[in-house]
Structure 1
Amino acid sequence: MGPHGCASTLTQVSSKPQTASMTGQHISAEEWTRKGFEAIRAKDLPAALDAFRAATQGPGASAEAFLGLALTELAHRNHDAFGAAIDRALALEPQNPKALVLKGDGLMHDNNRRAALPFYRAALSNAPANPPPSLKRDLDRAAAMVASLAQDLEDFLRAELEREGFNPSTSSPRFALALDLMTGRRERNPGPQQPRMFFLPGLAEHGFYPRDKLAWLPALEAATSTLKGELSNVLSDTGSFAPYVMPETNAPQRDYQGMAGNQDWSAYYLWKNGAEVPANMAQCPQTTAILSQMPLCDMPQRAPMALFSWLKPGARIPPHQGMMNTRLICHLPLIVPADCGFRVGAETRSWQEGHAWAFDDTYDHEAWNRSADLRVILIFDVWRPDVTPEERHLIRSMLAAIDTYAGVPPRWEI
């Protein structure tokens, strides 16, 4: 279904000439928006279009105004303008369910079914408990599209995994169950692990992973002074750090609670999304060599990830959960002032310079720096030691298949 269905109430609007009352007035964006919806109710499409265009030209334009503009542009069959207006609405209100549905509709109109799926899903997850009738119709359409598109994805995914050797009867039972959970064939029981993408059942539940199961930690800690020396050189050019959370343009935006584009939490990458960052590695050759000896996670377009991460004075990273429970995130503190803390699940710890740990980031976790100084740690991801080689291969194959299906780079975070 294309976007025409969402504008059915507008396609019947008459093409009256613009009225004098809609021109030559110096009024606010809010007032223009009100006039736009009045014109829609009066079935005066040209006046509505003029009003919404005026409402979105200057400061004070709202997501509601851009939604009105999108619908009236669509009724005029101006599909490019429709898409641009929806993008502006989502920039203002990333979780607006109406805008998310319309974004999905626009992608469907462009025959981009795979890109539409996450927008329809996001609309449903951000829907109010009791939506008004007009929004409910949009959400019902989104739910129907999700069901259809999700089945399409599952069929593609299982076919690709079969080519990579997956057999539900003989392959890892844990992975077979994980695939059923991910595709919605089965539901998992609630627990402390809450991955946003993939859950492999049967793994031991540890917020902070036991040190005695990570034989490589002492070697990492022994290199603290070397790593700190290279970090000092990096910090001489703070412009080389970039915000850890960057806004996305090809997928629905999550609520990052003010962290998107925020320099308070920033990163200097050595590996990013599975790719080396040669210029940064050249600045940190010893750090690169030490990390290369670690059991780094390797997943196409996702891992390894390795970075120096700073948290500015007074900053706080809000509670969040990671992508999948088959990896661990390692922290080696290098610059740690007092009054810095880190919570994983129900356990809170303070960083100590040179004392590393690894944790399961699918537990709810958060960090803070209540000091007057900068905090910097080395972060990287490793495979959980209890994930078998077969399961690692199947996970890599699954992710590659998802990327092939989506046709766009994945969204990923450490």
Structure 2
Amino acid sequence: MTQDGPQAELLRRAAEALARRDPQSALGLLDQADRLGVTHNGTLNRALALRLIGDFNGALVVLDDALAMQPYDFTALLGKAAMLEKIGQGVAAVDVYRNALKIAPPRERCPPPVAAQMDHADGVVRRHAEALRDHMRNAVAGLRDTLDPAALDRFDEGLEIYAGLKTAPKQEPLLLDYPRLPAIPFYDRALFPWLEQLEAATPVIQAELEALLASSMDEFAPYIAYPKGAPVNQWGELNHSRKWSSLWLWRDGARQEAVCERCPRTAALLESLPMCRQEGFAPTAVFSALQPHTHIPAHTGSSNVRLLTHLPLILPGPARFRVGNTVRDWKMGEAWVFDDTIEHEAWNDADQMRVILIFDIWNPWLTDGEKTLITAMMKAQRSFTAAG
């Protein structure tokens, strides 16, 4: 109902009474205001007054009234969860805290008391999820030895997702989100028998890379190079920075002849592998150099129709890579294939530069006919956009 002048004055005085911790006076003023029409703000203040006098059940009833008026009121949800905690309904409180956090405003925009409540809510939800995880782990402990290591790793991730500690990895392509392709962070090596050939060639590639580094390090260009005025988002530190630099062997489908001529055995090896071939788009093959103690922030790639292969070439110390919920350390002589449309990030924790070879391949779940059609579709999109 519309607040008239007298009602607004009563609500103001009630708020002042609450500010000086006088809930009884506030309740009397709110009773008078309600006779002129029940309001959402008045209902929230009534709940606070009842909380201050220790009537937690009464406050809970009133907060439900407030939520009936405005179901997505963040403050009311936080208050309801706190009251459920007070009366010993911890599991119910977790659900309400979780719903409140889903609609929470950014912490930096919240006054300190509200930010503190949000931190408390985070802690309650997290501790509940950890307890649930531990309970489920104990319940299945006797069954774990029935799974092979790869299946067990997937199960453990699924258990933490089910408990609410992690979210399921999802594909977030920047360009093309092709349907019905599985969201697999790291792919099974068995799908790519040529990985052993690639790994065996590590010393050959290393030798050619070392020659390039000795003579052409200045040709390694910043991997991130946004034009002036473009929003850089998470790339502020690395934009136009040689902390993360690259030297391309193939770029957007075009063979970089000058580089390939200086590392002919690497180029020939790549030619023999099933790289993704799309005129004007792929393959891409690049030496990627990351300077000491540098972090590549979380990001996603352009299209799930192709996957990326990594082969480490220079590993002076610890270096980590995360895809979705899975974190791996690079190991010399071991390559992997991953879906870069799933959020991923990298760290070089060593005191010297880390270099890997990166190249793209087709997603193995595509048919040859689809590959042809997808390439034609992407070329048509590009020509349409250019013509517009």
Which range, TM-score by smaller chain? 0.5 to 0.7
Determine the structure 2 residue equivalent to 1:360. Answer: 339
User: Which runs of no fewer than 5 residues in structure 2 stay unpaired?
Assistant: 1-104, 107-167
Task: Find the aligned partners of 1:262 and 1:310 in 2 and give their Cα distance.
Answer: 12
Determine the structure 1 residue equivalent to 2:252. Answer: 273
Task: Find the aligned partners of 1:266 and 1:220 in 2 and give their Cα distance.
Answer: 23
Determine the structure 2 residue equivalent to 1:245. Answer: 224
SS in 2 for 1:304: coil
Match of 1:198 among 176, 179, 185: 176
Determine the structure 1 residue equivalent to 2:213. Answer: 235
Please give the residue correspondences for 1:104-115 in structure 2 after superposition, counting only pairs within 5 Å.
none
Deviation at 1:227, TM superposition (A): 0.4
TM-score normalised per structure 1: 0.51
2:225 is aligned with 1:225: no
Does the Cα contact within 8 Å between 2:185 and 2:323 map onto a contact in 1? Answer: yes
What amino acid maps onto 1:229 in structure 2? A
**Deviation string, structure 1 residues 217-269 (Cα, Å, up to 9, x no partner):** 000001000000000001112101001112247x9544223222111111111
Deviation at 1:407, TM superposition (A): 1.8
Task: Find the aligned partners of 2:305 and 2:316 in 1 and give their Cα distance.
Answer: 31
Determine the structure 1 residue equivalent to 2:381. Answer: 402
SS in 1 for 2:313: strand
Match of 1:382 among 361, 380, 387: 361
What amino acid maps onto 2:212 in structure 1? V
Match of 1:287 among 245, 255, 266: 266
Q: Which has the larger radius of gyration?
A: 2
Task: Find the aligned partners of 1:218 and 1:283 in 2 and give their Cα distance.
Answer: 24
Task: Find the aligned partners of 1:252 and 1:301 in 2 and give their Cα distance.
Answer: 24
SS in 2 for 1:381: strand
Does the Cα contact within 8 Å between 1:328 and 1:383 map onto a contact in 2? Answer: yes
What amino acid maps onto 1:326 in structure 2? V
Number of aligned residue pairs: give it. 220
What amino acid maps onto 1:281 in structure 2? C
Please give the residue correspondences for 1:7-156 in structure 2 after superposition, counting only pairs within 5 Å.
none
Deviation at 1:380, TM superposition (A): 0.3
Deviation at 1:215, TM superposition (A): 1.2
Does the Cα contact within 8 Å between 1:300 and 1:399 map onto a contact in 2? Answer: no
Determine the structure 1 residue equivalent to 2:294. Answer: 315
Task: Find the aligned partners of 1:301 and 1:258 in 2 and give their Cα distance.
Answer: 30
What is the root-mean-square deviation of aligned Cα atoms in Å?
A: 2.0
TM-score normalised per structure 2: 0.54
Match of 2:323 among 340, 344, 351: 344
SS in 2 for 1:399: helix
Task: Find the aligned partners of 1:387 and 1:240 in 2 and give their Cα distance.
Answer: 36
Determine the structure 2 residue equivalent to 1:215. Answer: 193
What amino acid maps onto 2:222 in structure 1? P
Does the Cα contact within 8 Å between 2:169 and 2:185 map onto a contact in 1? Answer: no
Moved beyond 4 Å, runs of 4+: 251-254
Task: Find the aligned partners of 2:283 and 2:254 in 1 and give their Cα distance.
Answer: 7
Task: Find the aligned partners of 1:202 and 1:238 in 2 and give their Cα distance.
Answer: 42
Deviation at 1:300, TM superposition (A): 2.8
Does the Cα contact within 8 Å between 1:257 and 1:318 map onto a contact in 2? Answer: no
**Deviation string, structure 1 residues 68-101 (Cα, Å, up to 9, x no partner):** xxxxxxxxxxxxxxxxxxxxxxxxxxxxxxxxxx
**Deviation string, structure 1 residues 107-166 (Cα, Å, up to 9, x no partner):** xxxxxxxxxxxxxxxxxxxxx99xxxxxxxxxxxxxxxxxxxxxxxxxxxxxxxxxxxxx
Deviation at 1:301, TM superposition (A): 2.0
SS in 2 for 1:208: coil
Structure 1 pair 286–248 and aligned structure 2 pair: CA distance change class (3 A): same
Task: Find the aligned partners of 2:225 and 2:217 in 1 and give their Cα distance.
Answer: 17
**Which structure features the higher share of helix residues?**
2
SS in 2 for 1:226: helix
Determine the structure 1 residue equivalent to 2:131. Answer: none
Determine the structure 2 residue equivalent to 1:298. Answer: 277
Identity %: 40
What amino acid maps onto 1:322 in structure 2? G
Determine the structure 2 residue equivalent to 1:369. Answer: 348
Does the Cα contact within 8 Å between 1:315 and 1:368 map onto a contact in 2? Answer: yes
